[in-house]
């Protein structure tokens, strides 16, 4: 398994393993961990996920593979120069309510993952603090959307804001500053 399964398959896999979170939330938690500075090479994320989703119990092999695929995909997309990071949400074929609920659970997951590793909110930039504040508001979003073009557009604007905001957090906190390695001059 090297690419994300479709959303329904992911939901079935989680349910089969008695992990009662949405694929969106799982993707959000991993994204939040990475965006707040979890070392990219860290295997720590599986332990954190099992603590959060599975009472600290080890995951089955297929779940470990699934989370590894999400982790790898998020790492690659956060580091993509074209900013090809996407939220793992129900497809556009689903109702707007399902898509909105997926967005809310992704944001809640992101906040959880971010909060697990980011302990010093005082050191965050004003931009990142604003993102966290906005994300907190989004978790309370009324997801009762009508199936209108206007509501569809509004939801997609919020999704795009969340996507760009996650990239902003990662750009600021998720990577070791390049200045540490590039300023050393060789003599």
Handedness of CA 157, 130, 132, 27 (dihedral sign): positive
Going by C-alpha positions, the residue among 172, 160, 175, 174 that lies closest to residue 85 is 160
Residue 109, pLDDT > 90, answer yes
Average pLDDT over residues 140-148: 90
The answer to whether residues 86 and 28 touch, using CB atoms and an 8 Å cutoff, is no
pLDDT band of 132, cuts 50, 70, 90: very high
Residue 31 predicted with pLDDT over 70: yes
Structural domains of the chain, ranges and CATH numbers in brackets = 7-173 (1.20.120.740)
The whole-number pLDDT of residue 175 equals: 62
Mean pLDDT of the chain: 86
Distance CA 38, CA 174 (A): 7
Please tell me whether the overall predicted TM-score, pTM, comes out greater than 0.85 for this model: yes
- In this predicted structure, the answer to whether residue 142 has a pLDDT above a threshold of 80 is yes
Token digits of residue 130: 């604003």
> In whole angstroms, what is the distance from residue 125 CA to residue 182 CA?
23
């Amino acid at each position: 398994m090297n690419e994300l399964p479709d959303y329904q398959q992911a939901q079935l896999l989680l349910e089969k393993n008695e992990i009662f979170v949405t694929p969106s939330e799982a993707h959000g938690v991993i994204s939040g961990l990475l965006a707040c500075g979890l070392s990219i090479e860290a295997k720590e994320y599986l332990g954190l996920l099992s603590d959060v989703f599975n009472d600290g119990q080890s995951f089955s092999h297929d779940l470990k593979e699934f989370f590894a695929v999400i982790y790898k995909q998020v790492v690659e997309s956060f580091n993509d120069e074209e900013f090809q990071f996407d939220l793992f949400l129900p497809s556009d074929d689903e109702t707007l309510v399902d898509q909105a609920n997926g967005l809310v659970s992704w944001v809640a997951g992101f906040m959880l993952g971010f909060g697990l590793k980011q302990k010093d909110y005082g050191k965050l930039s004003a931009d990142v603090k604003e993102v966290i504040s906005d994300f907190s508001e989004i978790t309370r979003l009324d997801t009762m959307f009508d199936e209108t073009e206007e509501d569809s557009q509004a939801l997609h604007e919020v999704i795009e804001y969340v996507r760009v905001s996650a990239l902003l957090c990662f750009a600021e906190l998720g990577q070791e500053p390049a200045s540490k390695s590039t300023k050393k001059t060789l003599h």
